[in-house]
Chain A
Amino acid sequence: MSLDALEQELLAQVSAASDEAGVEAIRVSALGKKGVISERMATLGKMAPDERKATGAALNVLKDKVTEALTAKKVVFAEAALEARLVSEKIDVTLPVRPQSAGTIHPVSQVWEEVVQIFGDLGFSVAEGPHIEDDFHNFDALNMPADHPARQEHDTFYFNEKPDGSRMVLRTHTSPVQIRTMLSQKPPIRIIAPGRTFRSDSDMTHTPMFNQVEALVIDETTHMGNLKWILQEFCKAFFEVDDVKMRFRASHFPFTEPSMEVDINYSREGGQLKIGTGDKWLEILGSGMVHPNVIRAGGLDPDRYQGFAFGMGIDRIAMLKYGIPDLRAFFESDLRWLRHYGFRSLQVPTLAGGLS
Chain B
Amino acid sequence: MKFTLSWLKEHLDTTATLDQICEGLIGVGLEVEEVSDRTQELAAFKVAYVLKAEKHPNADKLRLCKVETDTGVIQVVCGAPNARAGMKAIIALPGAVIPATKIALEKGSIRGQESQGMMCSERELLLSEEHDGIIDVQGDWPVGTPAVKALGLDDPMIYIKVTANRPDALGIHGLARDLAAKGLGTLKPLDATPVKGTFTSPIKVSVDGQSSCALFVGRYFRGVKNGPSPAWLQARLKSIGLRPISTLVDITNYITFTYGRPLHVFDADKVHGNISARLAKNGESLVALDGKTYTLSDQMTVIADEKSAEGIAGIMGGEASGCSETTTNVFLEAAYFDPQATAATGRKLGIISDARYRFERGIDPAFTQVGAEIATRLILELCGGEASELVIAGAVPNTARSFTLRKTRVKSLGGVDVPWTEQLRILRDLGFVVSDDGVAADDVGATCAVPSWRPDVKGEADLVEEICRIYGLENIPNAPMSRPHDIARPVLNPLQKRMLASRRMLATRGFNEALTWAFIPEAQAKLFGGGQPELKLSNAISSELTDMRPSLLPNLIAAAGRNMARGFADLMLAEVGHAYAGDKMSDETLRAAGIRRGAAVSRNVQGGKRDVDVFDVKADVLAVIEACGLAASTLQVVSGAPAWFHPGRCGTIQMGPQNKLAYFGEIHPRVLQAMYVKGPLVAFEIVLNGLPASKAKSNARAALNYSDLMPLSRDFAFVVDDKVLAAELVKAVKGVDKVLIADVNVFDLYKLEGGKISLAVEVTLQPKDKTFTDAEIEAISAKIVATAAKAVGATLRQ
Q: Do A and B bind each other?
A: yes
Instruction: Give the B-binding residues of A (Cβ under 8 A).
Output: 95-106, 108-109, 113, 116, 119-126, 129-132, 147, 149-150, 152-153, 157-162, 167-168, 170, 188, 190, 196, 198, 200-202, 208-209, 211, 217, 221-230, 232, 247-252, 257-261, 289, 291-292, 306, 330-336, 338-339, 342, 344-346, 348
Q: From known contacts A99-B604, A228-B476, A333-B559, infer whether A258 and B468 are also in contact, taking CB-CB under 8 Å.
A: yes
Q: From known contacts A252-B29, A257-B465, infer whether A149 and B533 are also in contact, taking CB-CB under 8 Å.
A: no
A103 in complex: contacting residue of B339, B456, B568, B572, CB < 8 Å: B572
User: Is the Cβ of B576 less than 8 Å from the Cβ of A109?
Assistant: yes
- Bound CA span A126–B497, Å: 11
- Bound CA span A190–B481, Å: 11
User: Is the Cβ of B461 less than 8 Å from the Cβ of A345?
Assistant: no
B-side contacts of A289, CB under 8 Å: 413, 461, 464
User: Is the Cβ of A223 less than 8 Å from the Cβ of B343?
Assistant: no
A-side contacts of B508, CB under 8 Å: 103, 345-346
B-side contacts of A161, CB under 8 Å: 538
User: Is the Cβ of B479 less than 8 Å from the Cβ of A333?
Assistant: no
Closest to A211 in B: B515
User: Is the Cβ of A292 less than 8 Å from the Cβ of B459?
Assistant: yes
Give the interface SS of chain A, mostly helix, strand, loop or mixed. mixed
Name the distance in Å between B434's Cβ and chain A's nearest Cβ: 19
User: Is the Cβ of B512 less than 8 Å from the Cβ of A104?
Assistant: yes
B413 in complex: contacting residue of A101, A109, A113, A306, CB < 8 Å: A306
Report if B566 contacts A (CB, 8 A): yes
Instruction: Give the A-binding residues of B (Cβ under 8 A).
Output: 26-29, 31, 163-166, 339-340, 343-344, 347, 360-361, 411-416, 456, 459, 461-462, 464-465, 468-469, 473-474, 476-481, 483-485, 488-493, 496, 500, 503-519, 533-542, 545, 548, 555-556, 559, 562-563, 566, 568, 570-574, 576-578, 580, 583-585, 587-588, 601-602, 604-606, 608
User: Is the Cβ of A250 less than 8 Å from the Cβ of B27?
Assistant: yes
- Bound CA span A333–B479, Å: 42
A-side contacts of B462, CB under 8 Å: 257
B-side contacts of A348, CB under 8 Å: 504
Residue among B416, B481, B606 with the most chain A CB within 10 A?
A: B481
* 8 nearest CB pairs, A to B: A225-B415, A250-B29, A101-B510, A258-B465, A250-B469, A225-B479, A345-B507, A103-B507
Q: From known contacts A225-B477, A333-B562, infer whether A131 and B518 are also in contact, taking CB-CB under 8 Å.
A: yes
Name the distance in Å between A11's Cβ and chain B's nearest Cβ: 49
Instruction: List 11 additional contacts besides A122-B488, A158-B537, A159-B535; criterion CB under 8 Å.
Output: A120-B488, A123-B484, A126-B492, A126-B496, A132-B583, A132-B587, A160-B534, A167-B538, A226-B480, A226-B481, A228-B476
A121 in complex: contacting residue of B461, B480, B488, CB < 8 Å: B488
Name the distance in Å between B178's Cβ and chain A's nearest Cβ: 10
User: Is the Cβ of B473 less than 8 Å from the Cβ of A229?
Assistant: no
User: Is the Cβ of B566 less than 8 Å from the Cβ of A334?
Assistant: yes
Residue among A105, A149, A333 with the most chain B CB within 10 A?
A: A333
Residue pairs across A and B with Cβ atoms less than 8 A apart, 14 shown, are A125-B493, A126-B492, A152-B347, A200-B541, A224-B413, A224-B476, A228-B415, A249-B26, A250-B27, A258-B465, A289-B461, A331-B517, A333-B573, A335-B571
User: Is the Cβ of B510 less than 8 Å from the Cβ of A258?
Assistant: no
Name the distance in Å between A242's Cβ and chain B's nearest Cβ: 16
User: Is the Cβ of A95 less than 8 Å from the Cβ of B605?
Assistant: yes
User: Is the Cβ of B414 less than 8 Å from the Cβ of A250?
Assistant: no
Name the distance in Å between A251's Cβ and chain B's nearest Cβ: 6
Name the distance in Å between B463's Cβ and chain A's nearest Cβ: 10
Name the distance in Å between B30's Cβ and chain A's nearest Cβ: 8
A248 in complex: contacting residue of B474, B481, B490, B492, CB < 8 Å: B474
B-side contacts of A98, CB under 8 Å: 601, 604, 606, 608
Closest to A103 in B: B507
Closest to A134 in B: B583
A-side contacts of B604, CB under 8 Å: 96, 98-99
User: Is the Cβ of B533 less than 8 Å from the Cβ of A330?
Assistant: no
Closest to A232 in B: B478
Q: From known contacts A229-B479, A338-B512, infer whether A159 and B537 are also in contact, taking CB-CB under 8 Å.
A: yes
Closest to B587 in A: A132
B-side contacts of A96, CB under 8 Å: 604-605
Name the distance in Å between B541's Cβ and chain A's nearest Cβ: 5
